[in-house]
Amino acid sequence: MTEPTLDRRTLLALAAGAAVTPKLAMAQQAVALRPNLPGPYDLVITNGRAIDPETGLDAVRNIGVIGGRIAAISEQPLAGAKTIDAESHVVAPGCIDLHAHGQQMAAAWVQAYDGVTTALELESGLLPISMFYDITAKEGRPINYGAGAAWTYARVEAKEGIKPNGTIGWFQDAFSLSNWQNTLATPEELELIMDLVDAGLREGGLGVSINAGYAPGYGRKEYYELAKLAAKHNVATFTHVRYLNAQEPLSSFEAIEELLALSAITGAHMHLCHLNSSSVGDIEDTSKLVQEAIDRGLRVTTEAYPYGAGSSAIGAEVFRGDDWLQRWGVPDASRMETNGRALSQKEITELQESAPGTIVVMHFLKPEDSERDRDLLDKSVLFPGGAIASDAMPWTDSKGALISEPDVWPLPEGAFAHPRTSGCFSRFLAEFVRKRNAISLSDGLAKCSLIPANIMAESVPQMRTKGRLQVGMDADLMIFDLEKVQDNATFQEPAKLSTGHRHIVVNGVVVIEDGERMPDRLAGRAIRRNV
């Protein structure tokens, strides 16, 4: 039987964004696509171990790219304008991060070194959406970018009268105000909040971003209205649940129940952010709860990062009150750090008054010291069908100021963020796949690429061609040495880049080549709903 082939005209149409027709779908199943066609490919990757989690492909192949799309996957030689020899390396879809707060240029480059080709700000989101996309497009990015419509931003505007500017720095400053965090919305305020979120969706926001844990006093009806709005637009909600508490009442379990109930009532797709830190010490029971909801057909998805420590602004409500340590299930205040240094309760209280936007790290589990804690973390990280997502924080300098200038590189001495910002995906591949064999390579790659793409695919058409190594799909690829891929960031030195990713390809452009960034190759594109 003759294998399907595509002529150059069809390849160019596909690269320009043509729909995947039955003819193209047939071609995606081919292992050879017109081998030896003289020079049709912009980029050829040879001799790599090609892995596609969706089809099960795991074999040495040559890959041809044209116009930013994969045009050939072949056992035979291919000719191209540029060739990468990937012998002894894995060639796989690049990581898709659904939870990346660091949308600045330097943060994008750091994530590229971690194998990320698409980084989306979905848990917190941003507003105004058009302003965010305009600012980012003007600067350019090495990796794909996008954001959800931020409910908390809308709430600050409605309750504090301050208009957002499309940046996370604005939100950090809002932690000096408390009315938006702790009070119910009036009917007039609620109407404005919903109008602002609705406008964000109409401007192309990728979903409804609900940072409920940062404003737990917002009431039940407001969340219900947000879920109905998401269902109306057929987008997901991305929720940081309202309680982080291992004990009842007002527990993580209760907060996750609320999310599941709203999915059942409204039919909305509800995505639970960071199953690990949302559950703190109650991961055993919360993971069972979420799995049962999924088994019963609810439109619920989740994610986790491979660390037992979370990160947030010190002024967040989850760090306030006389019982905050008990809610986190930790013995004392020294579990909180800034710049790798443990804090006392006195220092925490002082910073909450003087600098509430200060980014801190909170160790709710110690998997390196406790087998029980490691098992709990595993339940979230290896949750069936769950994505890996970094919750990457924005980088701040040694004085706590946001590093937002587009030309900063390398990160300055003393740059601070949670180490997951630099090492999330490499840590997962090194620890869970290579060292512990807790999950197969193909299944591990699916959690980093295919699963997050599928979480977004129904509502965001662009995501249907991502997370796959197939003909017709976007050429967002990572080429790495499984024996060498490694996270190097620590809580004391969070800016140390991951290693082992030899090449990173975004939309067919090699943005990291032989381990070196190519600063002029800003190949990232906006991921945005149709507007």
DSSP label at 492? S
Q: Residue 10: what pLDDT?
A: 61
Lowest mean pLDDT among 33-37, 44-48, 152-156: 33-37
DSSP-derived secondary structure letter, 29? T
C-alpha span between 87 and 61 (Å, rounded): 10
Q: What is the pLDDT at residue 2?
A: 32
How crowded is residue 76: how many other Cβ atoms within 10 Å of its Cβ?
Answer: 13
- Compute the residue count for the chain: 531
List Cβ neighbours of 375 (8 Å cut-off, separation of 6 or more).
none
Residue 193 has a pLDDT of 98
Q: Do 252 and 245 contact (CB within 8 A), yes or no?
A: yes
One fold for 8-93+468-517 and 95-308+372-464: no
Instruction: Express each pLDDT in 180-202 by its tens digit.
Output: 999 999 999 999 999 999 999 99
CA distance linking residue 257 with residue 172, whole number of Å: 29
Determine the pLDDT at residue 8.
57
Q: What is the percent of the chain with per-residue pLDDT over 70, rounded to a whole number?
A: 92
Please, what's the b/e burial string for 270-303 (b: 16 or more CB within 10 A of its CB; e: otherwise)? bbbbbbbbbbbbbbeebbebbbebbeeebbbbbb
Check residue 14 and give its pLDDT. 55
Range 8-93+468-517: architecture per CATH: Roll (2.30)
Instruction: Give the confidence band of 116 by pLDDT, cuts at 50, 70, 90.
Output: very high
Kindly report which listed range (38-47, 48-57, 87-96, 230-239) carries the lowest average pLDDT score.
38-47
The pLDDT score that the predictor gives to residue 11 is 57
Taking residues 19-45, what's their average pLDDT? 55
Q: Are 362 and 328 in contact (CB under 8 A)?
A: yes
Which of 213, 427, 200, 485 is closest to 305 using CA atoms?
427
Domain 95-308+372-464 classification at class level: alpha beta
Average pLDDT over every residue of 432-458:
98
Q: Say what the pLDDT of residue 39 is.
A: 55
- Assess contact for 256 and 289: CB atoms under 8 A: yes
pLDDT per residue as tens digits for the range 345-387: 999 999 999 999 899 999 999 999 999 999 999 999 999 999 9
How much is the pLDDT for 13?
58
Angle at 348 between CA 377 and CA 359, to 5 degrees: 60
> In Å, how far from its chain's centre is CA 109?
15
Three-class SS of residue 335? helix
CB atoms within 10 A of CB 520: 8
Q: Please tell me the distance from the alpha carbon of residue 105 to that of residue 103, in angstroms, as a whole number.
A: 7
User: How far is the C-alpha of 183 from the C-alpha of 216, rounded, in Å?
Assistant: 9
Phi, psi values for residue 474, rounded to 5°? -65, 140
The neighbouring-strand residues paired with 58 are: 51
Task: Give the type of residue at 68.
Answer: G
pLDDT, one tens digit per residue, over 163-186 is 999 999 999 999 889 899 999 999
Closest of 77, 53, 72, 50 to residue 61, by C-alpha: 50
Domain boundaries, the chain: 8-93+468-517, 95-308+372-464
| pLDDT higher than threshold 80 for residue 85 | yes
Please give the pLDDT value at position 454. 98
Tell me if 349 sits within 8 A of 322, measured CB to CB.
Answer: no
| Res 30 pLDDT > 90 | no
**The pLDDT of residue 7:** 55
Decide if pLDDT at 22 tops 50.
no
Say if residues 275 and 287 touch (Cβ distance below 8 Å).
Answer: yes
Question: 389-433: per-residue pLDDT in tens?
Answer: 999 999 999 888 999 999 999 999 999 999 999 999 999 999 999
Q: Rounded to whole angstroms, how far apart are CA atoms 283 and 379? A: 7
Over range 95-115, report the average pLDDT.
98
pLDDT above 70 for 434: yes
Q: Strand ranges (DSSP E) for 429-498?
A: 477-480
Mean pLDDT of the chain, nearest integer: 92
- Whether residue 33 has pLDDT greater than 80: no
| Tokens coding 210 | 């609900």
Helix/strand/coil (H/E/C) assignment for every residue in 136-201: HHHHCCCCEEEEEEEHHHHHHHHHHCCCCCCCHHHHHHHHHCCHHHHCCCCHHHHHHHHHHHHHHH
CA 253-98-517 angle, to 5 degrees, is 145
Q: Residue 413 burial by CB count (10 A; 0-12/13-18/19+): exposed, middle or buried? A: exposed
Q: Does pLDDT of 1 surpass 90? A: no
Facing residues of 49 across strands?
60, 90
Is the separation of the CB atoms in 497 and 102 below 8 Å?
Answer: no
pLDDT reported for residue 9: 59
